Structure 1
């Protein structure tokens, strides 16, 4: 197995071995012997940092090395492509009003150029009726056909059905759930999605409590029957 080549380390101060360099500091851009550039950096309380080792002669800057590393790190982060993906969650027994609102937000995300990850999560005994989840995902797929194309068909993954869609070109997009063509602010859309997801979680907790309550009632009824029999 081949090892990945390590990126070349930045040479600083005494690690710069070549006899002559081009030095940039302030408004100065001059060729100097390396020892002289080092002395200049020390006089200024700064560091001599090599920034173009392959140039002839190599190019160095007189800077604060700590600040230089920080700026380089910031630049690398800003150069990384930003994540262009959003997520919309559904549940099997979602009511029509909540469904329409989630679909509006899915359309908003797609209109802004985001990919959208559609997730449907089964709770408790709902896993016994997986076909209902796939039916709902098929409906989502059809309802978003005017806004997106399918990257990943609905697929069962543990207790979830996942689907990934990408936006159609803007000129081909046709909304179904926002007829006026208005695009909401994404911060507002994200906040609304979080609110609905929190409500879903609360409903699920309530459903579990009901199941526990039913179980308790059954137990009490059974005990009562035994007492009558005695």
Structure 2
């Protein structure tokens, strides 16, 4: 609550420089804030008596938004990149997929490795599991297996997260 929205009889007032001005009526505090061309802002409504502060509310909101924007800029959003392979993949193609996964892990993204079974290949799901295990062994220095290989329909998936350095 700010300015005229404050309806309490008595409040504890803090000046704009942080010094305590004591307990006074809300009208008197409002008059004091107006004389300084500032706002009266309730900062602790649950206290007895409530605590109010004399401050420039517009500047305060601007600084808050600025800090929030700065914090948002510094955070990294982790996305999930997918690498699809088949159980009958050739060695060179497998190495290419491993290199792609390494590139994703270095940029800080999680990797979902999917083995797609076609037709009757799904009956030999152990081939896919050994392939995914081989994949995990190849990138073990950059990533850790977050979710073990699991068969979901005609796909077997495994999640790999980048190692924390």
TM-score range, shorter chain: 0.5 to 0.7
RMSD over equivalenced CA pairs, Å: 3.9
Residue ranges of structure 2 left out of the alignment (5+ in a row): none
- Which one has the bigger strand percentage? 2
2:31 maps to which of 31, 39, 46: 39
In the alignment, which of 50, 59, 71 is matched to residue 42 of structure 2? 50
The residue number in structure 1 matching 2:97 is 99
Structure 1 counterpart of 2:135? 140
What's the CA shift string for 1:103-151, capped at 9, x where partnerless? Answer: 3324525xxxx572324275xxx54345465454332222233344322
Query: How many residues were matched structurally?
Result: 151
Q: Answer yes or no: is 1:85 the counterpart of 2:78.
A: yes
Runs of 5+ consecutive residues of structure 1 not aligned to the other structure: 1-10, 171-230
**TM-score when scaled to structure 1?**
0.47
Indicate how the Cα distance of structure 1 residues 147 and 100 shifts in structure 2: closer, same or farther if over 3 A, else same. closer
User: Residues 117, 138 of structure 1: CA spacing in aligned structure 2 closer, same or farther, 3 A cutoff?
Assistant: same
The correspondence for 1:117, drawn from 111, 114, 134, is: 111
| SS of aligned partner of 1:85 | coil
Residues in 2 aligned to 1:38 and 1:158: alpha-carbon distance in whole angstroms: 68
Partners of 1:38 and 1:48 within 8 A in 2? yes
Query: Of the two structures, which has the highest relative contact order with CA contacts closer than 8 Å and spacing of 6 or more?
Result: 2
